């Protein structure tokens, strides 16, 4: 049985990888033919200030390289999931039935979240490229994106609370800790917190490597909890990310951008809660460890903003988020990326231990 479960996880992941690889030339042709990239390099800080150091570091990197590469991730995951489901329906048999991991109780919600987040992010990317929108550089304003993320988080929280009857979080050596209706705002806050970590998408290969590690870790946790369909879904997402990463390693053929990071961060929040009390584990408590690179990225931005506000404009980092600080210190981008990968793997392993103990 264990062998069959392993096959159910690794075969779909491999299929998703090759679907992503095969579909990339079509997407690349469209993106380059239609010049789907920023027309002016640079960005604004989260507090609305200028970012001269970042702009100097990336003055030749953002123009001419398309955004929207995240389409590869959610489209490959969707085609794999639906394709294997259709195969099981059209050609019923032991093998096709085993490979079908689309289930109402484990994969519907994360798949829906991945697609919805990806589509909203795609709209934001399109507006930014075309220069329409409410802030400098185009795209949806930060407030609008946070509102959308909050609404998606609210919808998912209500699904957990009323449909799945989840009212608690898992604590190591304790079990389920009942929090009642507070589960709903907690879910929304966790969703917003993970989404804020999406700013890690700033160096070639960085976000892809980190997100592949995160979903692989939660796939392992789900497998341990015998949520095999969820484990297969996480593996499919990881396989799709690896297909994207194949073309995002320096020099990047395209960037993940919002259509990738929004879908992935929202889905990660759902998966974390599914591997918590619902799976008799501690997926939420382990989240800050497993997603440590996202956590330090978010906190570096917060620290920078607070320092500039309360210390008379003084900065803690040369540039925020922190990976750009190391870049500004003179570290080659590939060194920053690979060291973040190493840190991500180490903390993901620690987080997996925490999620499974007790």
CA distance 220 to 227: 10
pLDDT tens-place string over residues 200-249: 988 899 999 999 999 999 999 999 999 999 999 999 999 999 999 999 98
Residue 265 CB contacts under 8 Å (≥ 6 apart), including other chains: 117, 191, 194, 195, 197, 198, 294
What parts of the chain have a pLDDT lower than 70?
1, 40-62, 132-138, 358
Beta carbons of 37 and 20 less than 8 angstroms apart: no
Contact 269, 187 (CB under 8 A): yes
Q: Torsion angle of alpha carbons 279, 238, 258, 251, nearest 10°?
A: 160
pTM of the prediction?
0.94
> How many H helices and E strands in the chain?
14, 2
CA distance 255 to 69: 5
pLDDT one-digit tens code per residue, 44-98: 555 555 566 666 666 666 678 899 999 999 999 999 999 999 999 999 998 899 9
């Amino acid at each position: 049985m264990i062998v069959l479960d392993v096959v159910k996880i690794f075969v779909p992941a491999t299929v998703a990888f090759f679907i992503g690889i095969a579909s990339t030339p079509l997407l690349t042709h469209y993106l380059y033919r239609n010049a789907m990239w920023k027309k002016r390099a640079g960005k604004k800080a989260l507090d609305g200030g200028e970012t001269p150091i970042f702009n100097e570091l990336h003055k030749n990197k953002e123009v001419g390289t398309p955004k929207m590469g995240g389409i590869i991730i959610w489209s490959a995951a969707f085609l794999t999931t639906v394709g294997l489901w259709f195969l099981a329906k059209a050609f019923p048999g032991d093998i096709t039935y085993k490979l079908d991991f689309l289930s109402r109780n484990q994969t519907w919600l994360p798949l829906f979240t991945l697609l919805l987040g990806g589509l909203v992010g795609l709209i934001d990317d399109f507006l930014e490229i075309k220069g329409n929108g409410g802030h400098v550089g185009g795209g949806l304003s930060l407030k609008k994106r946070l509102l959308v993320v909050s609404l998606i988080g609210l919808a998912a929280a209500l699904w957990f609370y009323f449909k799945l009857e989840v009212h608690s979080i898992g604590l190591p050596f304790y079990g389920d800790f009942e929090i009642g209706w507070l589960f709903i705002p907690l879910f929304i806050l966790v969703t917003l917190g993970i989404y804020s970590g999406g700013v890690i998408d700033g160096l070639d290969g960085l976000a892809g490597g980190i997100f592949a590690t995160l979903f692989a870790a939660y796939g392992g946790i789900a497998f341990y909890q015998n949520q095999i369909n969820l484990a297969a879904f996480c593996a499919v997402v990881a396989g799709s990310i690896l297909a994207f990463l194949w073309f995002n390693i320096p020099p990047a053929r395209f960037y993940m951008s919002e259509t990738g990071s929004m879908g992935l961060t929202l889905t990660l929040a759902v998966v974390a809660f599914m591997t918590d009390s619902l799976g008799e584990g501690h997926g939420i408590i382990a989240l800050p460890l497993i997603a440590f690179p996202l956590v330090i990225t978010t906190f570096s931005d917060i620290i920078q903003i607070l320092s500039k506000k309360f210390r008379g404009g003084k900065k803690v980092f040369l540039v925020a988020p922190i990976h750009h600080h190391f870049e500004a210190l003179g570290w080659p981008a590939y060194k920053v990326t690979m060291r973040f990968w190493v840190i991500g793997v180490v903390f993901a392993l620690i987080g997996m231990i925490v999620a499974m103990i007790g």
